[in-house]
Amino acid sequence: MSLLTTQGLAVRHGENTVLHDVDFSIDRGEIVTVVGPNGSGKSTFLRSLIGAQSLSAGRLVRRDGLRLGYVPQKLHIDPTLPMTVKRFMRLPVRAGSDDISHALVEAGAGGLQSRQMSSLSGGQLQRVLLARALLSDPDLLLLDEPTQGLDQPGSAAFYRLIEDLRTRRGCAVIMVSHELHVVMSASDRVICLNGHVCCHGTPEVVASAPEYRALFGSGTQGALALYRHEHSHHHDHHHRAEG
């Protein structure tokens, strides 16, 4: 059974239909990247999957007991408020010191515990947010533009970390990204949103789809070939056809 499935998902903000007819599912261990122009409903989609945004139509089915880890696009912390990383990590869930240390190390942020949140670089902050999401031992991680503001090597390193986490924990990942050519190497599937699902499939299929090219142009093909690498592991997708 899929971890999570949507059928005909639709979301409205007032008169504005932001998403409609979104059919989607994700299985254990998959990394799915959501791309789309600004305002195309990517954040709204993630928020609807975690239950923070109500649907105006359609169905969302989550596997019983599914544990989610969500990294929001923006974090609002008053910069004048003193807050160490360790204290921040304790905010959402009652986590022990060992769990916090372990999650920070796993997210590549070991050693930052006593730093002030306001002193972190963009890349360090993203890793702390990821570590916090790991505290709930998620079956599914949802990341909303996790590499915003990072340079290309920083982004590539972050996506490698996500792949490592998936391999080690077997969790599934849904992430929003604008950096298609960088993120695609770490993605099993891509869905291109523009109010609805314009196209979906493997990164190569989406990059060459006319719908995608109409939105983004064709300039990413060469870079895509450059960044795509061979996976050293295999995913068993047979059950999807049966499920």
Ligand X SMILES: Nc1ncnc2c1ncn2[C@@H]1O[C@H](COP(=O)(O)OP(=O)(O)OP(=O)(O)O)[C@@H](O)[C@H]1O
Contacting positions for ligand X (CB under 6 A): 13, 18, 36, 38-44
**What is the DSSP-derived secondary structure letter of residue 41?**
S
CA-to-CA separations, 211 to 16, 192, 222, in angstroms, rounded:
22, 9, 18
6 vs 40, which CB is nearer to ligand X? 40
> What tokens appear for 169 in the block?
């924990």
CB of 216 to ligand X, least distance (A): 13
Contact between 189 and 202 (Cβ < 8 Å): yes
CB of 53 to ligand X, least distance (A): 8
Give me the count of residues in the chain.
243
43 vs 126, which CB is nearer to ligand X? 43
13 vs 239, which CB is nearer to ligand X? 13
CB of 130 to ligand X, least distance (A): 19
40 vs 155, which CB is nearer to ligand X? 40
**What are the two backbone dihedrals, phi and then psi, of residue 92, each rounded to the nearest 5 degrees?**
-80, -35
CA 137 centroid distance within chain = 15
CA 61 centroid distance within chain = 19
Rounded CA separation 142/169 (Å): 15
84 vs 148, which CB is nearer to ligand X? 148
CB of 90 to ligand X, least distance (A): 29
Query: Side-chain half-sphere of 115: how many Cα atoms within 13 Å?
Result: 13
27 vs 145, which CB is nearer to ligand X? 145
Give 178: exposed, middle or buried? Use CB within 10 Å, 0-12, 13-18, 19+.
middle
> What tokens appear for 94 in the block?
């009652």
CB of 2 to ligand X, least distance (A): 23
Query: What residue type is 5 in one-letter code?
Result: T
CB of 58 to ligand X, least distance (A): 16
